[in-house]
Structure 1
Amino acid sequence: MTSSTTREELRLQGFDLIDENLSFLISCLADALESLGETDLIPYLPWTGTVPEGELPEGTQQLYSVGFQLLNMVEERVAAAIRREREKELGADSIRGLWPRALKDMTESGLKPDEIIDVLSTVNVQPVLTAHPTEAKRSSVRERHRALYDQLVRSEYPKYTERERRRLRERMVTALETLWRTGEIHLVRPDIYRELRDAIHYLRDLFPAALNRLDLHFTEAWRDAGFPLETLREAGNVPVLSFGTWIGGDRDGHPLVTPEVTDTALGMLRRAALQLLHRELTQLASHLTLSRHLNDVPEEVETRIDELAFVLDDEEIANDLHHRVGEEPWRHLASLMAARLEKQVNGAPGYESPEDLAADLKLISDSITANGCTLIEEQHLRPLRQKLEIFGFHLATLDVRQNSEFHDQAISQLLAAAGIEDGENYGSWPEEQRVEFLNKELKSTRPFLHDGLQAGEQADLVLDAYRVLTMHLDEYGPDGLGALIVSMTRQLSDLLGVFLLAREAGLMIRTDEGLVCPLEVVPLFETMDDLERAPGILDAFLSHELVQRRQADEQQVMLGYSDSNKDCGILTAAWALHRGQQNLSEVARKHDIKLRYFHGRGGTISRGAGPTHWFMAALPHGSMNGGFRMTEQGETIAQKYANLANATYHLELLLAGAAITTAQHRQPQGPVDPAEEFLPELSKASQEAYQQLLRSDGFIEFYREVTPIDALENSRIGSRPARRTGKKGHSIADLRAIPWVFSWTQARFYLPGWFGVGTALESLRNEQPERFAKLKQEFRGSTFLGYTLTNVETNLASANLEVMEQYSSLVQDPELRERFMTIIVAEFNRTRDLLADLYDADIHTRRPRMAKTLDIREAPLRVLHQQQVDLLREWRGLVQAGKDHEAEALFPRMLLSINAIAAGLRTTG
């Protein structure tokens, strides 16, 4: 049997498994509905062969939403099952993006084990969990999903008896009953603490177990590659994985993230880290049942037991442990450590630092290894020591982000309060004047104002937030504190101004050479113009004495994938980001410093999403130095990490992808990109078409009527406002990229993810046919253009012309509707046809797996879209008539409609 035949058979096997498992779950849902007395909904169950006609009963939206949730669950589970089958049939290295393939690729490139270790020692990956308004499901719904998923996994066991299978089905039906009666949508906007508790669930309760599997997968791949395990173990914890979060620190356009919130968030993260370590230590103790009569107990272990029993200051616990586990000294020691941590969780004194706890773990590790128990050390001690390195006492680093305009307002207020001439107009000073002033001021260590004096609302908020960070530094050190990120960085003074504010708050450290900021100041380049200016800004920043004084060998730079796309369209934004990284990396090489890019990718393709390993493969050569940060936003956290198998898979993609990309980027010269010569003109033509549409008279009015943007602005999906400034005006510039994409997605336009690409390709084909032929012949050798056009094609396939026409009926002005729909439909057809021409085949032929997942969703989605159009029309009519009470009463159905369609499309914003 050939490999290609096997791959095709595995694909078809996956399709059959989806149909089989989905049919089973839908039949369980039917039983649950019957049990609950909802029998009128049973004939309308999706994927049962019946097509609903006429007026649908109340509850259909929820029915379809739950149906899609089950389908998503099935697809995740089947994907994991087919990966296992593929490994059995074709070998572990047949799965692109995972460790076996990455190690094979590095070996084939000529790297020896010690050289691979050298690469891995530079790899430092950090997913950053954020809480943008994209997660439409409540946390209690996700808990029900986990319960269902567990039952689905159990159902795969082939040797159950008939009674056991019946019992399993009954548990499924019970879980679906609970899900049906669990409120699905947020009727009250979630607060920041709830968002943080959701993130902590993944960090504390799910990722540690995934790390165990991840480490095992890597160890097995290393051994299977024929490499010596001792070489890997001597290198320590490589590659490095850690976690970050913005929840409680991201105050860009989020007025509810106050200094008090940041302080509470840091405390919640620290407490959760201690809880994690207490749980892990308790589990470790249960494995350390080594008797003192069968092993040599070093004096250091006995001494440490006595010391911990004394400092625990709890005679009852100490005596209980002595009597229960005194004959098992290592268990005794681990139990005392756990008891000490438990008290620390509740506010009592305990371990001062992770290093102190690590010393006790090392004592256990060394002493049981000396007794020959190397497997116990390998399987139980080493993973815990690794988790301590990863999570510390902080769980995740908390970045603090604020907009440059907000900083300008804060500095203006500060200067005005200090009596600086024209200080109140600082925001409008020319850049040369700002830089000259900041350079002069930053030579001094004195603040402008005495502690306790207020300068103004924005100044006080920034300074108080920095004071929270200062107190955390003084009490706990830098662990847990991330970077000071400046969104919408436009010029050098936007970064230097942060140092001035930090000095005022006491966040700067005095040295003999001058002030030093203990936290990294990070530019965030978002718009196309900012990306073009970015290399000059970074060059000046890295040349500045305040930055050089930190003596760091790495500088973080954040790139925004959302606003750049909203600004100029998908192709132009992708190219601007690609060129920006090339130019920024060149600046870093000039300064002999590594750049660690922080990719602000959203949950949709229009906001930078796409398969992680393909995304890394498409990065410009030389831009990956091992360090890699990436936002994980909203619903993508649950999609990637809600269950153990999926979480392990996606974390492995991140680590293995970063390793192989770093190895490739170490080569002096990368492969020549055959599409690069075409991209400037394609980008220009695409941008012109996209911006011409957005700037056309009447477009904003059309957009606000053809999409449910007004409903999204009134939704309770996340804690963050839909607009940066809070204004209710009709400005696309002020609208956040998330609701911009979310609204086009709900109406099935997916417009930000493809518009302009067809015009660009057509202009090349019509004006320079010989160059278009050359592009067609060579573009598949371009990782960048191949990745970008594949994403565009995915958006096109997800869009639906018939559904677009349904939503266009909401546009009240017929001329406006006709004018813009003609433009949009023409560009849609143009883009689809040009891509089919480039690839010599349509997407259904080339990507059957994606076609399957889209086709299976289409019939129920059409029903939901028609319902949403009718609801929007009714709701808007009530709002316009001033019937606010009736409009508010109807709104929960609107939210449920948004949620159901989001579940069906597996995406929001």
Structure 2
Amino acid sequence: MPAILTSRLSDAAALPKVDQDLRSLMDAFAEVLGDIGEHGVATRLPWPREGDTLVTVDVERVNEWPEDPADPLAERCVEARSIAFQLLHQAEENALAQSRRRVESEGSLEADSGSWEYVLSRLARDGWTPAEIADALGTVRVEPVLTAHPTEAKRSSVLHHHRAIYRLLVDNENTMWTPGERAALRDETKAGLERLWRTGEILLEKPTVQGELGIVLYFLGEMFPQTLPWLDRRLETAWRRVGFDPALLRDPTHRPRVTFGNWVGGDRDGHPLVTPEITAWTLEQLATTALDNLRDRLGKLAAGLSLTTSRQAVPPALTTRLTRMAQALGDDAQAALERNRGEPWRQMVNLMIAALPTPSGPVAPGRYRRPRELLADLELLGDTLSAIGARRLADRDVGAVHAMVRTFGFHLASLDIRQNSAFHDRAVAQLLVAGGLDGAGFADWDEDRRLALLETELRSPRPFMHDGTRAGPEAASVLGCLRVVARRIQERGPDGLGALIVSMTRGLSDLLAVYLLGREAGLLTYPDGVACCPLPVVPLFETIEDLQHSAGILDAFLSHPVTRASLEQQRRDAGGSAPRQQVMIGYSDSGKDGGLVASQWGLYRAQADMIAVAERHGVRLRFFHGRGGTISRGSGPTHRFVRAQPPGAIDGEFRLTEQGETISQKYANVVTAAYNLELLTAGALNATLRGRRAGRNGHALAPVMERLAADSRARYRSLLEAEGFMDFYAQATPIDVIESSRIGSRPARRTGQRTLQDLRAIPWVFAWSQSRFLVSAWFGVGSALIGLRDDDPDAFERLAACKRATEWPPLHYLISNAATAWATADPRIMRRYAGLVEDEALRDRLMDLILDEYERTRVALEAIYEGPLSETRPRVHRVLSLRAPALAPIHARQVQILDRWRRLRADGKEYEADRWLPSLLQTVNAIAAGLGATG
């Protein structure tokens, strides 16, 4: 989703700036193309000028491409448009950033929904005191989890070039440049554009997990350390502007905590390349980056703390600690002490550097084993500075390093381990057989029989087999990974390890099976005769049916003695006041399974039910939101998404995935990254405080939402279950091209079967987006709403009035997202792709069904918005209409080549067909760039 759609500032303040920056970038791009002899491409760039205005209608001269698909000019035009869409995104991003800065300079950001100033001012208005808000801030922990699902269609080198061009765009905002300096900036921009053009966007080889981790490490190791100080300053500025006492923020326990998670190298669900060796290597790479950054930051701290004993007395606590550290480190301490004689604070930091551990293996004597040990020394350093009156140095210099350690520790990001419950079933079956038991059919046993075996086995620490015995491929894979985890915990504790996540959790046995596998790998302990796991075992509820059963499964899980013992151990290790259970909820598969309304309402209701269960058990829940980059997979404006959660769902802690292209869209530049993290942290604070006061009785429109969810799901399933649907989908979308692409290391299907159930939600959505159907984001909405209007006009009007007044955030979020998705769909382009369906009767039957629902959705949404969406939602219309004419010829070319490619493959001419694949992938990249999302 383009960033311009997510900010309330964009209407009046940002849109003129978009035109200005886009004109500048496109002029520079056209000059570059002309200079290197690409005149035919230069004259076909989108958004040509007429005077000083960008033309946003379909202009024949720029869309007159060669009819022959083999003409190289047409392919180069596609690539140029892909770049042009990225430049448009950068112009929008910069316009929003500059708009926010201008508004803040001129007055207040209180109008920027979701910002710190907006949230703090409204909390104060609604009766919370600054002290209460500061106390709540200390409970807020936000954790974006970076993933490398196959949704990023751009090469890493291309991402680097785009970031460089954006930085030049921001540099150009400096009003102090001389004409010569400004000309130099423009020349550098043109050089960046030439690099981009000459690089090309097609991935020549399928990415490796190592390559994907390299991209993630850039954000974790470079971008986020630069961003977090900006986030702190934005909070401090907003705090002062609303009139709160700055002294309240000096206490680190009054600051929100931002940490990061990572799935690359740990997410094993349907990913055969994530081996135990890859997981071990990933942990080492994360630790290496974190420790290198920390060593560098401590070195700079030491250089600044050159306070001498001749100018101030040394507090005894510092002297005592220096002596003890030197004794513990032995010979390693000598160089640190001798280098800066008479500068004890500097010596202390030198010893801290010497005490940092190595990235892997057992920790040497005298070295820090856990980050909290370094934090204790930093707090001592700050306290002794404050004791001599140097509080400013304590707050600014030491405080910055303290914040860095709190965020990144020695591990940079927590690595989750995810695997599918069906894979675990096969592993358990193999272990049972290897142990001489009748367990080959474990996966097919009923729940009672499965639980009986698991309960019996978990009472004993005895493993099924000795180390080295190979029970089978699934067992070897799972146990190999868990042994890596167990060894890591033994050597340096659980820091840097996230959760053991079970995809497709269907019952209690799926979770207890992880405990059993953990026992086999040496991960479980039996301190009081009861099995205990040091890492949280986390259910992932994904389908509509699983969400409906989630509260019952969670209740049984929290009642189990192994879970209770494990949560207590995890609480003690984390120093928490109450046990906390994490639960992951999936937006992708629930959307694929039931459509938009059933998914979003099912997720809302499941969270509310699970909150009630956790409260009965005295456990706090930490929901982990598995969102993707499109509306079908849970995407939408961040501040609205946070508000749309049920009361109590965000009780301080908030975890969510950031997938594929959304990472670069949100976090590739410091100002934008700080703003997106601000939306998460400020939103979490707001939800935490308001959730603690809110009741749990539910909204008056909840019964209406139940009906809409059921009706929309029935309509949506009628499409998916229609005769011939998979044939229609396979031919009317480029799903076969996506499965042949090289945009992710993970296979598009879990097991390789060509069924709807086996197809991952990401390529499912990606294909619908490419062909502009987007059915999973709106199909069924219209029929459900019109059925409500016809059967219960009063209920429909209450719902419409509630949406117009934005009184209930879940409803507002749902309807707004459906309207945006409907507007992004395009019947003219749908028909082009449907023309590829060979069975004319099938094509007509399903297109009639889709277009009928499209019209119903238009009628229903216009009744709610009280007018045409192009008029009642002008910003969305403007953003989409700017992109539509530029996308049209790319869609036409994709359809043309797709038809030829498929015919060649059908005739057995694979070699000739393969020659067309790069051209097809180029159209995929360009359309994804134009829409701002893939899967």
Task: Give TM class, smaller chain.
Answer: over 0.9
Paired position in structure 2 for 1:864: 890
Q: What is the aligned counterpart of 1:439 among 451, 455, 459?
A: 455
Call closer, same or farther: CA 1:799–1:668 in 2, change over 3 Å: closer
Alignment of 1:604 onto 2:630? yes
Paired with 1:868 and 1:8, the residues of 2 have a C-alpha distance of 35
Call closer, same or farther: CA 1:71–1:564 in 2, change over 3 Å: same
State which drifts further: 867-876 or 37-46: 37-46
Paired with 2:45 and 2:341, the residues of 1 have a C-alpha distance of 61
Q: CA deviation at 1:284?
A: 2.3
Alignment of 1:425 onto 2:451? no
Paired position in structure 2 for 1:559: 585
Paired with 2:428 and 2:42, the residues of 1 have a C-alpha distance of 62
State which drifts further: 169-178 or 101-110: 101-110
Matched position secondary structure for 2:752: coil
Matching residue's letter, 2:836? L
Paired with 1:504 and 1:706, the residues of 2 have a C-alpha distance of 48
Paired with 2:873 and 2:652, the residues of 1 have a C-alpha distance of 32
Query: What TM-score results when the alignment is normalised by the length of structure 2?
Result: 0.92
CA contact (8 A) 2:267 2:417 kept: yes
Call closer, same or farther: CA 1:510–1:309 in 2, change over 3 Å: closer
Paired with 2:9 and 2:773, the residues of 1 have a C-alpha distance of 34
Q: CA deviation at 1:446?
A: 0.7
CA contact (8 A) 2:630 2:636 kept: yes
Alignment of 1:391 onto 2:408? yes
Matched position secondary structure for 1:68: helix
Matches within 5 A, 1:662-741: 662-669=688-695, 673-727=699-753, 729=754, 731-741=755-765
Paired with 2:361 and 2:481, the residues of 1 have a C-alpha distance of 25
CA deviations on 1:639-670 (whole Å, 9 max, x unpaired) are 11000001100111111101100111101426
Q: What is the aligned counterpart of 1:640 among 666, 677, 680?
A: 666
Paired position in structure 2 for 1:3: none
Alignment of 1:468 onto 2:492? no
Q: CA deviation at 1:771?
A: 3.2
Call closer, same or farther: CA 1:315–1:447 in 2, change over 3 Å: closer
Paired position in structure 2 for 1:522: 538
Q: CA deviation at 1:31?
A: 2.2
Alignment of 1:53 onto 2:29? no
Matched position secondary structure for 2:199: coil
Paired position in structure 2 for 1:456: 472
Paired with 1:706 and 1:268, the residues of 2 have a C-alpha distance of 43
Call closer, same or farther: CA 1:237–1:667 in 2, change over 3 Å: closer
Call closer, same or farther: CA 1:308–1:857 in 2, change over 3 Å: same
Q: CA deviation at 1:382?
A: 0.4
Q: CA deviation at 1:219?
A: 2.0
CA deviations on 1:248-304 (whole Å, 9 max, x unpaired) are 111111111111111111111111110121222233234334455433345665787
CA deviations on 1:402-449 (whole Å, 9 max, x unpaired) are 1111111111111111111x3111111111111111111111111111
Alignment of 1:120 onto 2:137? yes
Matched position secondary structure for 1:20: helix
Paired with 1:431 and 1:603, the residues of 2 have a C-alpha distance of 35
Q: What is the aligned counterpart of 1:775 among 799, 810, 834?
A: 799
Q: What is the aligned counterpart of 1:410 among 421, 424, 427?
A: 427
Query: What TM-score results when the alignment is normalised by the length of structure 1?
Result: 0.95
Alignment of 1:249 onto 2:260? no
Paired with 1:54 and 1:777, the residues of 2 have a C-alpha distance of 48
State which drifts further: 458-467 or 302-311: 302-311
CA contact (8 A) 1:61 1:896 kept: yes
Q: CA deviation at 1:398?
A: 0.8
Alignment of 1:75 onto 2:92? yes
Paired position in structure 2 for 1:149: 166
Matches within 5 A, 1:643-662: 643-662=669-688
Paired with 2:504 and 2:583, the residues of 1 have a C-alpha distance of 12
Matches within 5 A, 1:336-375: 337-338=352-353, 341=356, 350-375=367-392
Alignment of 1:576 onto 2:587? no
Alignment of 1:172 onto 2:189? yes
Paired position in structure 1 for 2:575: none
State which drifts further: 672-681 or 462-471: 672-681
Call closer, same or farther: CA 1:169–1:291 in 2, change over 3 Å: farther
CA deviations on 1:576-631 (whole Å, 9 max, x unpaired) are 11111111111112212111111111111100111122112111223222221101
Q: What is the aligned counterpart of 1:489 among 488, 505, 512?
A: 505
Call closer, same or farther: CA 1:302–1:581 in 2, change over 3 Å: closer
Alignment of 1:755 onto 2:779? yes
Q: CA deviation at 1:357?
A: 2.8
Paired with 1:10 and 1:407, the residues of 2 have a C-alpha distance of 48
CA contact (8 A) 2:65 2:74 kept: no
Alignment of 1:192 onto 2:203? no
Q: What is the aligned counterpart of 2:80 among 48, 63, 69?
A: 63
- Percentage of matched positions with identical amino acids: 45
CA deviations on 1:313-364 (whole Å, 9 max, x unpaired) are 5799769x83xx6565544543564466598799995543323433443343
Q: CA deviation at 1:493?
A: 0.7
Paired with 1:583 and 1:337, the residues of 2 have a C-alpha distance of 47
Q: Which runs of 5+ in 2 are unaligned?
A: 1-6, 50-60, 67-72, 572-578
Alignment of 1:212 onto 2:229? yes
Paired position in structure 2 for 1:4: none
Q: CA deviation at 1:726?
A: 2.2
Matched position secondary structure for 1:853: helix
Q: CA deviation at 1:228?
A: 2.8
Call closer, same or farther: CA 1:273–1:389 in 2, change over 3 Å: same
Paired position in structure 2 for 1:765: 789
Call closer, same or farther: CA 1:410–1:672 in 2, change over 3 Å: closer
Matched position secondary structure for 2:655: strand
CA contact (8 A) 1:76 1:646 kept: yes
Matching residue's letter, 2:35? S
RMSD: 2.4
Paired position in structure 1 for 2:239: 222
CA contact (8 A) 1:409 1:459 kept: yes
Q: What is the aligned counterpart of 2:841 among 796, 804, 815?
A: 815
Q: Which runs of 5+ in 1 are unaligned?
A: 1-6
Paired with 1:354 and 1:825, the residues of 2 have a C-alpha distance of 58
Q: CA deviation at 1:460?
A: 1.2
Matches within 5 A, 1:498-513: 498-513=514-529
Paired with 1:83 and 1:280, the residues of 2 have a C-alpha distance of 30
Paired position in structure 1 for 2:769: 745
Alignment of 1:262 onto 2:279? yes
Paired with 2:548 and 2:644, the residues of 1 have a C-alpha distance of 20
CA contact (8 A) 1:675 1:782 kept: no
Matched position secondary structure for 1:12: helix
Paired with 2:239 and 2:545, the residues of 1 have a C-alpha distance of 45
Alignment of 1:855 onto 2:881? yes
Matching residue's letter, 1:851? H
Paired position in structure 1 for 2:3: none
Aligned residues: 897
CA contact (8 A) 1:747 1:803 kept: yes
Paired position in structure 2 for 1:87: 104
CA deviations on 1:469-524 (whole Å, 9 max, x unpaired) are 11001001010111111111111111111111111111101112411111111111
State which drifts further: 167-176 or 87-96: 87-96
State which drifts further: 668-677 or 245-254: 668-677
Paired position in structure 1 for 2:864: 838
Q: CA deviation at 1:368?
A: 2.7
